[in-house]
């Protein structure tokens, strides 16, 4: 499958974002195993900035030696987490620039990594049942149909494998720091699925019916649903009208952890 116009547009946009130094393309070279162990063992409730959006701790446990696919999650961040934890890491992303950051993190920390450029809707270059864990950042907003991606993930996961997938809340996805009015963040449009008008990227709102039923229809067992932990930081530390402040007031992101059942 050749990349369609949506993928081509978003690929160009992310290449530009990386050139401009977006925070999601800066490899985590200062991250260390001790901090990760403190989080995994529960000694700290949440990772400090900028690592805070790595959650839940359950998908980091027993990572050593596991085959982990970081799906549409390039940038040298999630790969640094799993590389330091001793996993066998494959980073899959739409842009070479993001994957270059993954390679830079691997070189810095001294672990091996496989990088693959491609569209998350087509994982045909990956073998069936070849991964123990698929970690998927909040990138499904860039595809019209989550079920396309779910099917590919289900195929490449081993029986008993885990899929951690990040999502935007469909009711609050379009809220951002510019929506502040009289100390409150307003929802700028109606609750509906489909493309988001006016966004720089080709982005889409997905309904809960697709987000959850798409997993259930494939036979995934949903183990848990977890809110993005950025709201746990003290509100007083954030400036009104900033993204940090908005994410303390508005819960935009969550993730699902699901298991592909063992074969009977």
Helix axes 96-109, 5-19, angle to 10 degrees: 50
Mean pLDDT across the chain? 94
pLDDT tens digits, one per residue of 41-78: 999 999 999 999 999 999 999 999 999 999 999 999 99
Q: What is residue 197's predicted lDDT score, i.e. its pLDDT?
A: 85
pLDDT bracket for residue 237 (50, 70, 90): confident
CB 253 within 8 A of CB 226: no
Work out the percent of the chain whose per-residue pLDDT is above 70. Answer: 98
Per DSSP bridges, beta strands 253-259 and 221-227 are antiparallel
pLDDT bracket for residue 264 (50, 70, 90): low
What is the Cα Rg of the chain in Å? 18
Closest-CA residue to 109 (of 143, 129, 85): 85
pLDDT at position 178 over 60: yes
pLDDT bracket for residue 108 (50, 70, 90): very high
User: Measured between alpha carbons, how far is 167 from 22 in angstroms, rounded to an integer?
Assistant: 20
Per DSSP, which regions of 66-187 are E strands? 67-71, 88-93, 113-117, 131-136, 157-168, 180-181, 184-185
Q: Average pLDDT of 223-247?
A: 91
Q: What is residue 4's predicted lDDT score, i.e. its pLDDT?
A: 86
pLDDT at position 130 over 50: yes
Q: Average pLDDT of 93-108?
A: 96
Q: What is residue 235's predicted lDDT score, i.e. its pLDDT?
A: 79
pLDDT bracket for residue 26 (50, 70, 90): very high
Q: Average pLDDT of 190-202?
A: 89
Q: What is residue 1's predicted lDDT score, i.e. its pLDDT?
A: 40
User: Measured between alpha carbons, how far is 69 from 133 in angstroms, rounded to an integer?
Assistant: 6
Q: What residues does 253 pair with on adjacent strands?
A: 168
Q: What is the set of domains in the chain, with CATH numbers? A: 5-259 (3.40.50.150)
């Amino acid at each position: 499958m050749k990349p369609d116009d949506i993928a081509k547009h978003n690929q160009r946009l992310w290449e530009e974002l990386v050139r401009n130094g977006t925070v999601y393309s800066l490899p985590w070279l200062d991250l260390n195993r001790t901090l990760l162990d403190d989080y995994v063992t529960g000694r700290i409730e949440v990772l400090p900035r900028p690592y805070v959006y790595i959650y839940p701790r359950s998908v980091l446990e027993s990572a050593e030696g596991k085959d982990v696919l970081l799906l549409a999650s390039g940038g040298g961040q999630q790969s640094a987490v799993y590389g330091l934890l001793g996993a066998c890491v494959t980073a899959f992303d739409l842009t070479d620039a993001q994957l270059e950051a993954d390679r830079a993190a691997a070189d810095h920390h001294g672990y091996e990594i496989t990088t693959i450029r491609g569209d998350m809707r087509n994982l045909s270059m990956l073998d069936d049942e070849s991964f123990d864990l698929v970690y998927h950042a909040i990138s499904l907003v860039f595809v019209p149909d989550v079920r396309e991606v779910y099917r590919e993930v289900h195929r490449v996961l081993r029986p008993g494998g885990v899929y951690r997938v990040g999502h935007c809340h469909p009711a609050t996805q379009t809220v951002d720091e510019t929506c502040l009015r009289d100390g409150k963040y307003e929802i700028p449009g109606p609750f509906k699925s489909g493309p988001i008008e006016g966004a720089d990227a080709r982005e889409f709102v997905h309904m809960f019916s697709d987000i959850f039923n798409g997993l259930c229809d494939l036979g995934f067992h949903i183990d848990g649903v977890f809110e993005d932990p950025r709201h746990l930081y003290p509100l007083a530390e954030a400036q009104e009208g900033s993204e940090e402040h908005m994410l303390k007031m508005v819960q935009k992101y969550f993730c699902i952890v699901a298991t592909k059942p063992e074969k009977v």
